[in-house]
């Protein structure tokens, strides 16, 4: 079977995945800001199909590339340097998509992404110091950005799980939803108890403890971390887009 260099298409999948993860993240964040657990669940389930499709295609391409050994002499390192981490990329998307579609605990997919991201950054650093590509710095930044998305996704999934585990809206409520009863009888209540009863008039009623609902607000650390995470996703999307623009002309001019 003849070798086909689909590196540009792989980079396009990187870009699509980053955009989709960012869009799902923004949608889920604004739903959390409104204290809308159903909106978070809907955003996750809706994003599962496109993310899963990209993951399946990426996984299939990576498996094919892993078993195509060796690549041409000018690309001998691609099997290790590119396809190892690309297979992790595809598997991470598949695991994430299944988790989102079935409404499972996101933290497990986040842990998978964390480990895969750390491995990706390790590959990128070694590729940089060994000058394995014509653009070692740009390649390292690409690996660093996508590895960062994986690493920073774990705390994001933990916070999302915590929010969804409290459908009553008390995930980040500080204080109880209802006022607690007083531990001691008030002086006013005691004085009313000894007041004389006037014939023809109803006895005075003791003041009922008012029901006070605590106002929901998303903690600052949740909002700050979410925007940091989305910023890293944006950097990954930009890195993939820039890398794709640099790759496409050469592939079109010298197609196999």
The predicted pLDDT at position 213 comes to 54
- 3-class secondary-structure state, position 129: helix
The predicted pLDDT at position 166 comes to 85
Q: Vertex 124, ends 118 and 64: CA angle to 5°?
A: 90
The predicted pLDDT at position 89 comes to 96
CA atoms within 13 A on the CB side of 183: 0
* CA–CA distance, 156 with 13 (Å, rounded to integer): 23
The predicted-structure confidence for 39-66, as pLDDT tens digits, reads as follows 999 999 999 999 999 999 999 999 988 8
CA atoms within 13 A on the CB side of 76: 2
Q: Which domains does the chain have, with CATH numbers?
A: 7-173+217-253 (1.25.40.600)
The predicted-structure confidence for 132-144, as pLDDT tens digits, reads as follows 877 888 889 999 9
- What is the token pair recorded at 27? 């949608």
* φ, ψ for residue 168, nearest 5 deg: -80, 0
The predicted pLDDT at position 146 comes to 96
The predicted pLDDT at position 183 comes to 44
Q: Counting Cβ atoms within 10 Å, is residue 245 exposed (0-12), middle (13-18) or buried (19+)?
A: exposed
> In the chain, which residues have pLDDT < 50?
1, 175-192, 212
């Amino acid at each position: 079977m003849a070798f086909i260099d689909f590196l540009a298409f792989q980079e396009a999948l990187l870009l699509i995945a980053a955009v989709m993860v960012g869009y799902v993240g923004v949608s889920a964040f604004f739903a959390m800001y409104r204290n809308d657990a159903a909106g978070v669940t809907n955003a996750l389930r809706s994003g599962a199909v496109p993310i899963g499709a990209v993951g399946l295609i990426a996984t299939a391409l990576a498996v094919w590339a892993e078993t195509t050994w060796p690549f041409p002499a000018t690309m001998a390192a691609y099997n290790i340097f590119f396809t190892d981490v690309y297979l992790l990329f595809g598997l991470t998307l598949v695991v994430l998509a299944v988790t989102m579609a079935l409404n499972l605990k996101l933290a497990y997919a986040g842990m998978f992404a964390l480990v895969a991201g750390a491995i990706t950054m390790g590959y990128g650093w070694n590729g940089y110091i060994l000058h394995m590509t014509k653009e070692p710095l740009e390649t390292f930044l690409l690996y660093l950005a996508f590895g960062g998305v994986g690493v920073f996704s774990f705390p994001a999934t933990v916070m999302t799980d915590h929010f969804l585990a409290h459908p009553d809206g008390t995930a980040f409520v500080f204080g109880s939803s209802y006022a607690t009863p007083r531990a001691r009888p008030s002086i006013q209540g005691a004085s009313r108890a000894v007041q004389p009863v006037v014939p023809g008039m109803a006895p005075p009623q003791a003041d009922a403890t008012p029901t006070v609902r605590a106002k929901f607000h998303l903690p600052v650390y949740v909002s700050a971390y979410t925007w940091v995470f989305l910023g890293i996703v944006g950097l990954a999307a930009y890195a993939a887009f820039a890398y794709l623009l640099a790759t496409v002309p050469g592939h079109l001019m010298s197609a196999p």
